[in-house]
Structure 1
Amino acid sequence: MQLTESLNDVNSKTNSNSEQSRFNDNLQSLVAALGGDDNIINITHCMTRLRFKLADESLANKEVLEAIPGVKGVVLAQGQTQIVIGVDVEKWYNALSGVSTTTEEPISEAEKGKLFQNAMRVVAGIFGPVVPAIAGAGMLMGLLSGLIATNVISESSDTVFFFRSISTAVFFFLPMLVSFSAAKVFKVNEYIALAVSSAMLAPKLVDKAAMLKEVGSAPELTVLGVVPIELLNYGGAIVPAILAVWVLSKVTPFVDRFVPSSAKPVFTPLLAFTVTSTIVLSFVAPAGMWLSNGAGWVVSSLLEISPTLTGFVFGITRPITIVFGIHHSMTPISLNNFALYGKDLLMPIMCLGNLAIAGATMAVWYKQRNRVSKEQSSVTVGSGITAILGITEPALFGVLTKYTKALFMASLAAGIVGAISVTIDTHLTSYILSSVFSLPAYLASGTQNFIQAVLGVVGVFALAFTLTMMFVNVDDK
């Protein structure tokens, strides 16, 4: 990797542009504070963070990183160095896109034993890049529901048919989005991964299953005379897609060993696709559906045992999971709930958590407004407003991690209102961003559901604000 040299070249060409020059200087400082080019093994990003895998994490200088303009926080967790940037994260990522592995990443015995950390890193790596796409489609579905419920537009109109069709298509083909993202995590060819996931969604196989059911036969095929293929509908199925790419990452190097060098460009992709697709559709993908159904059963069982306690636990832990960068672990749970039950009770808690963070941040601003500089006060109130809009990292790392009692008050408020939200069945029917702008999506399940959602976000903001005002002293960080 010669990232530093690349940035120097860019910098030399843009001396006339002082803003671009300063940005490149910040990038160079970031790379240096991470231990240099050779210490960076891999880089990914989610909606607000750069996520680095470093060869030697001890070389990362957290204090220097936090002092770089544009960096809002640094989190060392789950075997990653996470740099909180905010809404400009894609700009930073694109500028750093020259970072890539020059050798295979060594996996130590200690790392192999970190099951939870590795699992969270995989989840974040897969779902972080996918979230904007599914959130955009989900928001479109939510807005359509809101317009229909308020009689602004007719449900039978061509306009609704068109926009509903393109938005639901995103969720049907979600396995392809997930497989492309997973291919980067498992380090296999993204387009072969897409080919495997498209095989799972093959229209001919879906039609064949429907035809067999119509005549009373089991939806199964026998390939090569011995391999049973159960014909299932994998539209929207994310666990089978992830498992498929993992299998591809094992099959590809295996078959590659048996192919002569001159034939590799043709026969390695042929064998990797054919063997993987057969293995996946014969038993891996059905097993993935079984796991998905099992996970859904666990969540539904928890909700049946005690919806109030379930809502409280998910709510009180929401701000903390964001701090440590493991909040994407909720995404597959919610997507699975949508696929199995057509609704999800847990995603509204994400929005409640964000508004709780906003409420606590605004309370800190109110307390400190006459005690700190105008610039610092502006940063605090700006972070609170940004949290209302769905981006909480500036508030968390710029304000609440400095006032840990305020962070606890935000968590407590999210837990209390989250418990109420689940108890009264406030839910969503599609994946959306956790923002006040997403509230119209709740109209998809009726006016009562929408009113509950509005009262929830207002209530959690007010409760977090009040608790912080009562129990937090801004002089005690």
Structure 2
Amino acid sequence: MGKYHELAKKIVANVGGKENINSLTHCITRLRFKLKDEGQAKDDILKNMDGVVTVMKSGGQYQVVIGNHVPAVFEDVVEIAGITNEGAEDSSDQGIFNRLIDIISSVFQPFLGALAASGMIKGINALLVATGVLTTTSGTYQMLNGIGDALFYFMPIAVAVAAAKKFKFNQYVGLAIGAALVYPSLQLDAFSAAGEPIMTLFDGSLFASPVYTTFLGIPLVATNYTSSVVPAIFVVWIASKFQKVVRKALPELLHAFFVPFFVLLLSVPLGFLVIGPVISLLTNLLAGGFDALMNFSPLLFGLVLGTVWQVLVIFGLHWSVIPIAMIQLSTLGYSTLVGTFGASFAQTAAVFAMYFKLKNPKEKALVIPAVISGICGVTEPAIYGLSLPKKKPFIFSMIGGGISGAFMAAMGVRSYNMGGLGVFGFPSYVNTETGDMSGMIYALIAVAIASVIGFTLTFFFWKDDTVEEPIRETATIAKETIETPLQGTIAPLSLAKDEAFSQGALGKGVLIYPEKGEVVAPFDGTVMTLFPTKHAIGLVSEGGLELLIHIGLDTVQLDGKYFEAHVLQGEHVKKGQKLVTFDIEAIQNAGYSVETPIIVTNAEDYLDILENQEKAVATGDELITALI
């Protein structure tokens, strides 16, 4: 049982239970659910839950924003929900764009930490060479270079394994596909070093492709797949389709060996002959297109990218930029998508300025953790908890991010690896080939620009309009009493067989095992909700207390059978007035429990909810006291 076990239980219950979860992944700050029915998730309860920053719906995902400790929460959620790598097949109806974002985020999330760590090691190694601490011929440099470069060089293997998990495909077969794509003798460099091409397809055109060998008489267009990203995703996707066909065609007895055999035999040659060359051509064009756009107007390019970056983060769409950067790195050796770097610092500085203007002590207490997180490149706590709800600080941070992005792009800054986030990203701008540190210096200036703009605009042009609530004096505490609506035996709500009730997700209250099938009004008030199946009734007292009386568990499936309502929805009722009658014996004979949760659904509006500790109660007895 992990540290966040209770939080995980509440999250699972409020996304609709484990039966409503198709799959779950996580990124740096978010749990990313794929739900069967998002309508079953209780957004308001999740948003107001301690330990949850907010809830977002984007890219076909139901995202519960947690913060930096999301990996630990993820582990507890996985355990409670019983989620495995072979999760239910995703059947949600997604558009192409949502599907693409979902695939990208799912593929990169598992090894993003290792990717950032590798980039940091490469950047630090380059920094040590640039400052003369190391030489490129020293053993220390070679070791650090190998550690930092390994994941980038063998990128198709990591991508293929993660893609296999996403596509519900055998991950070890995925590993074999990725390894085949980086097999040394099948790379363009190896073929060209061995001799001249036997022919050139599309000679004289933009699509000219040298051919050095054939496979079963079919020309093999060679390219270098080391450090590539997209080909592995597509080959594994095709392989996952082959796997389904082969499984159906072969007896189950032969699946263990012959399914991987035929899948590899079909998918890998197809990858080298068709998928790889086509995808490589398209990615080269895409990378070149971004480079051309950058060259056309670097300032405008950086301005737009830096301005909208935090908006992309809100919706989780920033994942769409990562493959583009990876494509540029693998084809050009650098990335021009540098305009986003200052945005997180602008956001962090704006939130830091808020510290001096906030009136609410609880909000002010959130600032320092959010600033620390932002300095490390994770801005979701700052965005959702502080700047976005206040609006203007978020806009000011966008301005700072845009201007810093325009500066970096105008100065021709390039990143040379996928380094760490926040302050850990500076070494990424050191040229790993030449040791040139000018890019890192410009990055430092850009961060200063972003931070000064974000802080200054927020400090001088934002005012906290929050009205401070007066502190209640103890002497003013009042109470509202709820009488017992039905006769029976009391038990703690935590003993309810339904987790939504037992975990307190719907509110505070008690459980009654009824001895008489009659529900009466526990106070003077109004029938707020009367379910058509008559198994549940919601009341609101004249003092504003909201009460749910839920007769039995899963009794909604009886469709009103064995229940009779004596009031109408919207009707005003008096204390003791008959509301609903039901046949206890018939309901139990039908296989349903009659245990009845009685819940104060707006318990958060009260100082405390006190429950009757007696074991047996009759209608008219005091059941619950709400302190106002």
TM-score of the aligned structures, taking structure 2 as reference length: 0.69
Distance 1:115 1:216 in 2: 40
User: What corresponds to 1:426 in structure 2?
Assistant: 413
Offset of residue 407 of structure 1: 0.9
SS in 1 for 2:457: helix
User: What corresponds to 1:193 in structure 2?
Assistant: 174
Pick the aligned partner of 1:450 from 440, 447, 453: 440
Distance 1:393 1:81 in 2: 16
Offset of residue 280 of structure 1: 0.7
User: What corresponds to 1:99 in structure 2?
Assistant: 83
**Contact 2:68/2:373 (<8 A) preserved:** no
Pick the aligned partner of 1:231 from 222, 226, 246: 222
SS in 1 for 2:195: helix
**Contact 2:399/2:453 (<8 A) preserved:** no
User: What corresponds to 2:231 in structure 1?
Assistant: 240
Shift in CA distance, 36/83, structure 1 to aligned 2, threshold 3 Å = same
SS in 1 for 2:23: strand
The answer to whether the aligner puts 1:468 opposite 2:452 as a matched pair is no
Distance 1:258 1:228 in 2: 30
Distance 1:151 1:53 in 2: 50
SS in 2 for 1:83: strand
Distance 2:64 2:404 in 1: 30
SS in 1 for 2:73: helix
Percent pairwise identity: 29
- Which structure's residues are more often strand, by fraction? 2
Distance 2:133 2:91 in 1: 58
Deviations 1:438-470 (A, max 9, x none): 323433352322221111111101111112223
The answer to whether the aligner puts 1:85 opposite 2:50 as a matched pair is no
Offset of residue 56 of structure 1: 0.5
Which amino acid is 1:90 matched to? P
The answer to whether the aligner puts 1:301 opposite 2:286 as a matched pair is no
Pick the aligned partner of 2:114 from 91, 113, 133: 133
Deviations 1:394-419 (A, max 9, x none): 10111112111211111111111111
Pick the aligned partner of 1:333 from 298, 311, 324: 324
Distance 2:106 2:15 in 1: 19
- How many matched pairs? 449
Distance 1:107 1:448 in 2: 48
**Contact 1:146/1:441 (<8 A) preserved:** no
Offset of residue 159 of structure 1: 0.2
Pick the aligned partner of 1:436 from 412, 423, 436: 423
Which amino acid is 1:105 matched to? D
Distance 1:103 1:420 in 2: 47
Distance 2:451 2:410 in 1: 19
Offset of residue 229 of structure 1: 2.1
Shift in CA distance, 64/148, structure 1 to aligned 2, threshold 3 Å = same
User: What corresponds to 1:274 in structure 2?
Assistant: 265
User: What corresponds to 2:334 in structure 1?
Assistant: 343
Distance 1:199 1:450 in 2: 36
User: What corresponds to 2:529 in structure 1?
Assistant: none
**Contact 1:354/1:434 (<8 A) preserved:** no
The answer to whether the aligner puts 1:354 opposite 2:341 as a matched pair is no
**Contact 1:315/1:353 (<8 A) preserved:** yes
Distance 1:222 1:216 in 2: 9
SS in 2 for 1:367: coil
Shift in CA distance, 215/315, structure 1 to aligned 2, threshold 3 Å = closer
Shift in CA distance, 128/215, structure 1 to aligned 2, threshold 3 Å = closer
Pick the aligned partner of 2:275 from 284, 294, 310: 284
Which amino acid is 1:182 matched to? A
Distance 1:440 1:243 in 2: 32
Shift in CA distance, 400/284, structure 1 to aligned 2, threshold 3 Å = same
User: What corresponds to 1:393 in structure 2?
Assistant: 380
**Contact 2:156/2:226 (<8 A) preserved:** yes
- Which structure's residues are more often helix, by fraction? 1
**Contact 1:352/1:456 (<8 A) preserved:** yes
Distance 2:155 2:213 in 1: 25
**Contact 2:350/2:397 (<8 A) preserved:** yes
Deviations 1:257-280 (A, max 9, x none): 221222122211100111000111
The answer to whether the aligner puts 1:209 opposite 2:200 as a matched pair is no
User: What corresponds to 1:75 in structure 2?
Assistant: 56
What's the RMSD between the two structures over aligned residues?
2.0
Distance 2:368 2:68 in 1: 17
Distance 1:331 1:302 in 2: 18
Offset of residue 434 of structure 1: 2.5
Distance 2:129 2:140 in 1: 11
Deviations 1:218-277 (A, max 9, x none): 54332233x332232100111111111111121111222221222122211100111000
SS in 2 for 1:349: coil
**Contact 1:49/1:84 (<8 A) preserved:** yes
Offset of residue 105 of structure 1: 2.9
User: What corresponds to 2:449 in structure 1?
Assistant: 459
Bigger radius of gyration: 2
User: What corresponds to 1:13 in structure 2?
Assistant: none
User: What corresponds to 2:253 in structure 1?
Assistant: 262
Distance 1:288 1:215 in 2: 21
Offset of residue 315 of structure 1: 0.6
Unaligned runs of 5+ in 1: 1-9, 11-18
**Contact 1:213/1:219 (<8 A) preserved:** no
User: What corresponds to 2:314 in structure 1?
Assistant: 323
Which amino acid is 2:69 matched to? D
Which amino acid is 1:362 matched to? F
User: What corresponds to 2:520 in structure 1?
Assistant: none
User: What corresponds to 1:221 in structure 2?
Assistant: 213
Unaligned runs of 5+ in 2: 200-209, 468-628
Offset of residue 299 of structure 1: 0.5
The answer to whether the aligner puts 1:372 opposite 2:354 as a matched pair is no
SS in 2 for 1:228: strand
